[in-house]
Amino acid sequence: MRKRMREYGLSTGNLPTGPLNAITDVEGVKVGHVTLISGEGKLIPGEGPVRTGVTAIIPHDGNIFKEKLIASCFVGNGFGKSAGLIQIKELGTLETPIILTNTLSVGIASDALVEYMLSLNEDIGVTTGTVNPVVLECNDGYLNDIRGRHVKREHVFDAIMSAKKEFETGSVGAGTGMICHGFKGGIGTASRQIEIGGKVYTVGALLLTNYGRMDDLIFNGKNVGRMLKERLERDIKGKKDTIEEDKGSCIIVIATDVPLDARGLERVAKRGILGLARTGSFMGNGSGDIALAFSTANRVCHYGEPFIRIETLSSHSDEINKVFQAAVEAVEEAVWDSMFTAERIVGRDFHEVPILPAEFFEVK
């Protein structure tokens, strides 16, 4: 198992991390994966090879439909096929787990998530309205038989049911077939702690990284991508593929226990895109860069009174700058976490991209 970035003595940003340096440092948040790997060699659409999966983010321990969380989202570049964002943008609430998977599996994942929510709520569609499933995606077709749509209902259920506080990153779950800045990418996570009004709060991020060019990769303000590319071309003499165009995407999920309203969370989601920019992303034309942010501080009861009272950090308070900084730093580090922990994957038609050479960064 590959080590996380900080285990090499490396860091980005200035704020302290949470205990796990993960989105699950936000109390109540859990993450589960199902990784699907089978077959090898030539692509036979519908049969394999399979290099894909599902990642589930559980926002809190209760019934998320009956106790919704305040949320919002921001689309940096909209070349994406996500489900559920329109209602989140309109109503400002999140009412299901968040499912991450590959592009052509959004439909089955959405259907499975609806089935899961129906199993917990007999009133949906009978005595109350319907439910808004949230499924976010990236395209893993370079390494995976994406046409085969190998993600099934049971994989979504298993990812949800296996969710826990401590989880793996890298080439797991939805990240199995993802590529980041020409290196193997996937699932990455990080967190930051901030103090507001004498109380410590947490901002955590989980990313599905599948974007960027190696030439543009930046670490702590320094372009390391070109040096890494030269090293790879010298050492492996073209045995592995390099991705020259930025056609990928990145899904950013930000969780916090800072009390924020939907407007504040939209502003936090926007800062997630700045975290990508710090790694060298310019959000290419074919990129789907989407950020979703939610707060666990307030719960909106589905069967509540017509008026609700919530605590929220004022947008006129400069204290919100701390949240913005934490979001940017957590997203930036989560990108690197996805690459440092990613394992080697040989995909369909023997496609392979290099894993990030950790020794290049290691502090001597």
Q: What are phi and psi of 214, to 5 degrees?
A: -60, -40
**354 found inside a domain:** no
**250 found inside a domain:** yes
Q: Tell me whether residue 289 is one of the annotated catalytic residues.
A: yes
**284 found inside a domain:** yes
pLDDT at 240: 54
**40 found inside a domain:** yes
- Angstrom distance (rounded) from CA 328 to CA 275: 4
pLDDT at 237: 59
pLDDT at 362: 73
Spot the catalytic one: 72, 191, 281, 287: 287
Mapped onto helix, strand or coil, the DSSP state of residue 278 is coil
Spot the catalytic one: 25, 140, 289, 337: 289
Which CATH number covers residue 181?
A: 3.60.70.12
Q: What are phi and psi of 50, to 5 degrees?
A: -110, 125
pLDDT at 315: 87
Contacts of 338 (CB under 8 A, 6+ apart): 169, 170, 175, 178, 180, 185, 186, 187, 188, 207, 209
Instruction: Please list the ranges in the chain whose pLDDT falls under 70.
Output: 236-247, 363-364
Residue-number span of the structural domain to which 75 is assigned: 14-344
**185 found inside a domain:** yes
Spot the catalytic one: 105, 110, 249, 338: 249
Residue 197 exposure: Cα atoms within 13 Å on the Cβ side = 10
Contact 169, 337 (CB under 8 A): yes
pLDDT at 1: 76
Inter-CA distances, 39 with 4, 49, 52, Å: 28, 4, 12
pLDDT at 245: 65
The total number of structural domains that make up the chain: 1
Structure tokens at 351: 């496609």
- Angstrom distance (rounded) from CA 6 to CA 335: 13
pLDDT at 364: 53
3-state class percentages of the chain: helix first, strand second, coil last, to nearest 5: 30, 30, 45
Inter-CA distances, 96 with 7, 30, 60, 155, 345, Å: 34, 13, 10, 17, 31
**272 found inside a domain:** yes
The candidate with the shortest Cα–Cα distance to 355, out of 189, 178, 234, is: 178
**299 found inside a domain:** yes
The reported pTM is 0.96
**359 found inside a domain:** no
Contact 338, 23 (CB under 8 A): no
